[in-house]
Amino acid sequence: MCGIIGYVGSQNPKDILLDGLKRLEYRGYDSAGVAVFENGKSQVYRCEGRLENLERRLKEVQFAGHIGIGHTRWATHGAPNETNAHPHKIGAITLVHNGIIENYIDHKEKLLKMGRSIASDTDSEIVAHLFDIEVTRGLTLLQAMNTVLPTLRGSYAFVVMSEKEPELLIGVRNGAPLLLGVGEGENYVASDAQAVLHRTRQIVYLEDHQFAALTREKISVFNDRGEPLNHTVKRIDWSPEQAEKLGYRHYMLKEIHEQANAITNTIDGNIDHKRGVIACSELAFTRDVLASFKRIAITACGTARHAGLIGKSYFERFARIPVEVDYASEFRYRNPVIDSSTLLITISQSGETADTLAALREAKGLGSKTLSICNVRDSTLARESDVVLYTNAGPEIGVASTKAFTTQLVVLYMLSVEVGLARKTLTEAEAKELTSDLVRLPMLVESVLQKEDELEKIAIEYQADPSFFFIGRGCLYPVALEGALKLKEISYIHAEGYAAGELKHGPIALIDRSTVTIALASVDTPYSHLGTAYTTVLHEKVVSNIQEVRARGGRVISLVTEGNSHFDPISQHVVRMPRATWAMSPILYTIPLQLFAYYVALQRGTDVDKPRNLAKSVTVE
């Protein structure tokens, strides 16, 4: 949440800051602002709403300075208006902040007693006052870090500049991401590499409780006692072009279309071609360690949690190991019963989701081994986990997750085969079959993407409907949850995902002519080594569930395996999906739901890539 960028160098900072903010806008877009030093004085420009408002305001403004900071906000404390927008300037201090200062009210009361006037409702302004008090009594910014930081509780990242030291930026990280971009004769600080990758690939990741001082020539990193630390510069290989729209109208559509490639890249390097079997190259646990786990706990948020629910089916079927899946925000506060015999898997596109990080730390504290499935390299989650398996999906900019989800499923699938081999619940021949299935997946994904026009037409027909149910059984049930989430988050239409058999236990009361039910029912291609495709039974049960919907006047769109005509007489539309095995179906059935949500949202004129009230990376609890 909230994007931060800072620059110190010899160039005009205006374009650098605005350009950086544009790349960070997915982190929040309630307001935006920049501040630059002009003749030693900080000039602040802020606007409510999208970045374009700020760009318009700055059109005629020329900056003479070479140092500045910028911010795009996702509101936590205080309404999304100009007064609450960042940067906050108090006396000599100008500051941008991401995160939450939990004890800001105590500080605020003290500041009010001291006679300070507080303009905004934010916790961030309070921190600016605290720094101003310290520099006014003669401390340098670096010294002020040592006096102010210990008084703050919460999770935060901020960048501060002081008019008393106009060549310096200070960045602080504690629970919210912050990194440094190393240039030649210039340096950057940002909440996300995305903001600076088109300018430098040399990145220094700050750890929690560290802060950095940046001048034009130099960056220095300190621990929370102010002691200098060595820092490592990493080279990031994501090219800036990967993050552009490449002619697509929205990032989301581009990312939907990238899925075949993203899956290929995620599989790449994870197959032992001699044996023809999956072998995850980043899986640093030995077979013995993998075999020693008695259970798996998966924890994640939102779409990533839906991936976890499908992962549970994979692990249970291929590795016969008990798995529980939890919302990260619930897991951490329910005193989970886990220990060193539990493998804790966290799943996160960004690797910065506060709830997921907290769940990871909770599990580590309880002695579990931890494995993370992440898309963003060297993210906090990746760095703090015992083992990381990366989804090589490339940058995902659209706020609604698409290619990250399908590649998370691919990683979970590969991992479940590894665990199955380690536990000897899968034979080499079975693992080979599952591997060749996976290798064919990108081709099947391409063929599902060909259905875009059909999905667009259906979306046009249903875009005005007020309420949708998505239903499925087995591992298509989490796909139903995901389909409903995609639709509600970008089109703002009410949508619910249900296990198809659960509809009759209450929700069916809502079914009438005004509701649309999207039914997912595959008849899976049987495995030659792994027994029958029991979803054939499930598919017949979904037919009965649809009959129940039809009997109450509900309209139905069905997604079924080609050649299956059972749904034709009971559906308004039938989308035919390619034949595939059990484990591939959830990946394939997700794609038409993404396209459907996209085209409904397009019809309704919502901001597809930046839906209201959302942020790409949720770094607050």
Q: Which residues bind ligand F6R (CB under 6 A)?
A: 301-304, 348-350, 353, 356, 400-401, 485, 489, 617-618
The minimum distance between CB 62 and ligand F6R, in angstroms, equals: 38
> Least separation, in Å, of the C-beta of 409 and ligand F6R?
13
Can you name the residues that pair with 388 across neighbouring β-strands? 372
CB of 321 to ligand F6R, least distance (A): 24
Residue 100 Cβ, how far from ligand F6R at the closest point, in Å? 17
- In order of 20, 52, 155, 400, 553, the CA distances from 621 in angstroms are 25, 29, 9, 19, 41
**What does the alpha-carbon distance between residue 246 and residue 513 come to, in Å, rounded to a whole number?**
41
Structure tokens at 452: 């875009």
CB of 305 to ligand F6R, least distance (A): 7
Place of tokens 């002691």: 227
Q: Are strands 88-90 and 93-101 parallel, antiparallel or unpaired?
A: antiparallel
Our CB check for ligand F6R shows the closer of 491 and 535 to be 491
Phi and psi dihedrals of 585, rounded to 5? Answer: -55, -45
Does residue 616 carry a catalytic annotation?
A: yes
Q: Which is nearer to ligand F6R, 48 or 352 (CB)?
A: 352
How far, in Å, CA of 127 to CA of 101, rounded? Answer: 8
Rank residues 444 and 597 by Cβ distance to ligand F6R and give the closer one.
597
Identity of the residue, 520 or 618, whose beta carbon is nearer to ligand F6R in the bound complex: 618
Among 456, 377, 434, 466, smallest CA distance to 194 is for 377
Q: Minimal distance in Å, beta carbon 454 to ligand F6R?
A: 23
Rounded CA-CA distance 338/365 in Å is 10
Alpha carbon distance 2, 99 (integer Å): 8
| Nearest position to ligand F6R, beta carbon | 302
By the 8 A CB rule, do 478 and 588 touch?
Answer: no
Distance separating alpha carbons of residues 74 and 192, to the nearest angstrom? 15
Residue closer to ligand F6R (CB basis): 304 or 575: 304
- Cα–Cα distances in Å, from 510 out to 411, 471, 495? 37, 14, 12
* Cα 103 to Cα 106, 108, 150, distances in angstroms: 6, 9, 12
Please identify, using beta-carbon distances, which residue of 212 and 388 lies nearer to ligand F6R: 388
Catalytic residue from among 2, 47, 280, 301: 2
2 belongs to the catalytic site: yes
**In the complex, minimum distance from the CB of residue 301 to ligand F6R, in angstroms, rounded to a whole number:** 4
Catalytic-labelled residue, pool 312, 403, 451, 616: 616
For ligand F6R, the closer of residues 299 and 561 by Cβ is: 299
Instruction: DSSP letter for 10, please.
Output: S
Nearer to ligand F6R, 414 or 618 (CB): 618
What sign for the dihedral angle of Cα 309, 310, 316, 319?
negative
Q: Considering only CA atoms, which of 416, 450, 419, 429 is closest in space to residue 576?
A: 450
Q: Token pair 């990683």 is at which residue?
A: 411
The distance of closest approach from Cβ of residue 140 to ligand F6R in the complex, given in angstroms and rounded to an integer, is: 37
The 3-state DSSP class for residue 134 equals: helix
- Determine phi and psi for 317, rounding to 5 degrees: -75, -45
- Reference 315, options 583, 88, 30, 37; nearest CA is 583
CB of 349 to ligand F6R, least distance (A): 4
Task: Closer to ligand F6R by CB, 26 or 462: give it.
Answer: 26
Distance in angstroms (rounded) separating the CA atoms of residues 289 and 4: 41
Spatial neighbors of 570 by CB under 8 A, at least 6 apart, are 543, 546, 547, 550, 556, 558
Catalytic residues: 2, 616
